[in-house]
Amino acid sequence: MLLGTCRVNKLNHLEIGGCDAVELAKEFGTPLYVMDENLIRENCRTYLNSIRSLHENTDVIYAGKAFLTIEMCRIIEEEGLCLDVVSGGELYTAIKAQFPAKRIYFHGNNKSYDELKMAIEYGVGRIVVDNFYELELISDLSKKYPAKNIKVLLRLTPGIEAHTHDYIKTGQLDSKFGFGMENGQALLAVESALSIKGLKLMGFHCHIGSQIFEEEPFKDAAQIMVKFAKTVNDKYGFNTREIDFGGGFGIKYLETDRPLPVKEYIHALVTSVKKCCQNYDVPLPKISIEPGRAIIGEAGTTLYTVGAIKNIPGIRKYVSVDGGMSDNIRPALYGAKYTALIANKAASPKEERVSIAGKCCESGDMLIWDIDLPKIDPGDILAVFCTGAYHYSMASNYNMLPKPAVVFVKNNTARLVVRRQTYEDLLSNEVYLPPAKKVYTASM
């Protein structure tokens, strides 16, 4: 499954962005995250052009939790997107990248006082408020920063359960995120927000899940959110200026996956919002979306070096690589599935069925079960596709494994964006005091 600029070259090697994957592994080591910059930029433009062809007053907000580095911030800014951050660390990354503050949306279900203070001082464009406690914190901060015009969206749970894994459903009423719409909490939040001096309510936000392959959940979200805007207008006289519909747009991890073309997702959402606004007689608001995985997911490939191979006759052949759940937790966390090829035998015929095992000391550290590949040998380079989203972001140092490097490839050139951790890095935060020397005295 070759996406973006991936192709097989004359050496029978996988090539990404004009760079030979085998040579990338030699130069930068493995495991290695390889990002296809041209595909990232193409995805940004597809979303931006698709939505603005239907409605001029829009924002496309890149969901930074999927993958965030200083270099990624730079690309997102250049492509005209806004940025969604969910923690002080992500906000700090954006600040270090000098990302325009007004184009930052600050999310999170448990923002601390210090994180909110940091966001207000930097002047982020929107704070997406998740709960009543956060409203109290912002109310307190608004008194300390009276000159700041704190613009907020209220995150609502519209009661939609998109057909995704339980861990990535977010729009149903029983969720840790947002104000419930079915239990009256959302209206109470509006009333509270409108009463806080120094806070300016701009509108509402929802996010119904991830890896959605259908139009209907987005149409349902449009119906529910616009109806709520009408209710709020009737009850409080508040005119909803903005509705942010979050992300959730599916991507193709496997040949059998059938995500919709971007234009179909966007057309379904925007036309539904317009129709609902007409039906409920409310002004058409600014419409925002938050693709994260959909921009970076298919642009990432992880390279591994094959090590031990264990054949259990009649049962299974395990092929171990030099990474695993430390650089890709998704298979262990929620059963994510991937496709792969051998980068140095990219177009060779498939000869055997194997299972790809990680090197962490967990039986559940399996990257891929039962994949057909050419005959595989120690030292081969395995390329696992569609690893751009939630891999670098969720990487850990389990078993004291250093986190991989990240390279961006484009037009036959590879740029190191994040260096590989060293063993020294693993201990850099430890506070170590040499044991005091024992003093022995002669016994009396």
Number of residues that make up the chain: 444
From 251, 214, 218, 206, select the one nearest 66 (Cα to Cα). Answer: 251
Give yes or no for a contact between 155 and 130, defined as CB atoms under 8 angstroms apart. yes
Q: What angle, 0 to 180 degrees and rounded to 10, lies between the N-to-C axes of helices 262-280 and 216-236?
A: 30
Distances (CA, A) of 134 to 114, 116, 204, 292: 12, 9, 15, 25
* Sequence-distant (≥ 6) Cβ neighbours of residue 216 within 8 angstroms: none
What is the identity of the amino acid at 211? Answer: Q
Give yes or no for a contact between 116 and 137, defined as CB atoms under 8 angstroms apart. yes
Catalytic residue among 19, 73, 206, 361: 361
Burial class (CB in 10 A: 0-12, 13-18, 19+), 38: middle
d(CA 390, CA 381): 22
Residue 386: active-site member: no
Tokens for 335, please give them: 């059963």
At 428, give phi and psi (nearest 5°): -65, -25
**Catalytic residues, which ones?**
361
